[in-house]
């Protein structure tokens, strides 16, 4: 009984995240031909994948440098948003949902809750809130970190043209 609630919540989490894939893959009959929605979905997915890989690579390089011990990363993608890896993850699931648009009818559109759920999970429940609390406990008194938090959004990047 002790594991029933965590197991059930994890199952619900997986189901809501993968719901759009489950709905699209359970379609009967011939698949619609590839179209503009598929191309847009694939482009969004690739862009999200690229952001997530680049963000993880930048953070790995940053953390492997002993001079950065005890510091936060604030360059590369991390200078545009504080959690670019979560932006990438959200875009991945958005791309998958867009890819399935041509297959959805009626109540199947509810499956598009997948990227919304991922976004809410990462920004309100598990990802960013936990990391932000940890960061504030480490650097909350540091004026440079406070400035970074105030000037760099959590997930949606600042797009600046350098001139």
Closest Cα to residue 72, out of 25, 150, 136? 136
C-alpha span between 5 and 2 (Å, rounded)? 7
Q: Is 16 left (phi over 0), alpha (psi -120 to 50) or beta?
A: alpha
What pTM, to 2 d.p., does this model score? 0.85
Q: What is the pLDDT of residues 47-93, one digit of tens each?
A: 999 999 999 999 999 999 999 999 999 999 999 999 999 999 999 99
Q: In this predicted structure, what is the pLDDT of residue 162? A: 53
Q: What is the pLDDT of residues 131-157, one digit of tens each?
A: 999 999 999 999 999 999 999 999 998
Type and span of the H or E element at 19 = helix 4-25
Contact 31, 100 (CB under 8 A): no
Task: Read off the pLDDT of each residue in 84-104 and give the average, rounded to a whole number.
Answer: 93
Closest Cα to residue 145, out of 61, 86, 60, 73? 73
Contact 32, 102 (CB under 8 A): yes
Q: What is the pLDDT of residues 17-58, one digit of tens each?
A: 898 889 888 888 787 888 999 999 999 999 999 999 999 999
């Amino acid at each position: 009984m002790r594991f029933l609630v965590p197991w059930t919540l994890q199952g619900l989490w997986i189901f809501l995240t993968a719901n759009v894939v489950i709905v699209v893959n359970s379609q009967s009959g011939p698949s619609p031909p590839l179209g503009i929605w598929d191309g847009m979905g694939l482009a969004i997915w690739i862009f999200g994948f690229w952001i997530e890989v680049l963000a993880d690579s930048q953070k790995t390089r940053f953390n492997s440098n002993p001079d950065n011990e005890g510091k936060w990363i604030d360059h590369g993608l991390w200078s545009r948003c504080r959690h670019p890896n979560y932006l990438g993850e959200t875009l991945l699931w958005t791309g998958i949902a867009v890819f399935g648009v041509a297959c959805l009818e009626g109540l199947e559109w509810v499956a598009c809750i997948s990227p919304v759920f991922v976004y809410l999970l990462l920004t309100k429940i598990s990802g960013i809130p936990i990391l932000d609390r940890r960061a504030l406990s480490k650097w909350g008194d540091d004026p440079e970190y406070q400035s970074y938090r105030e000037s760099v959004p959590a997930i949606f990047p600042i797009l600046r043209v350098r001139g």
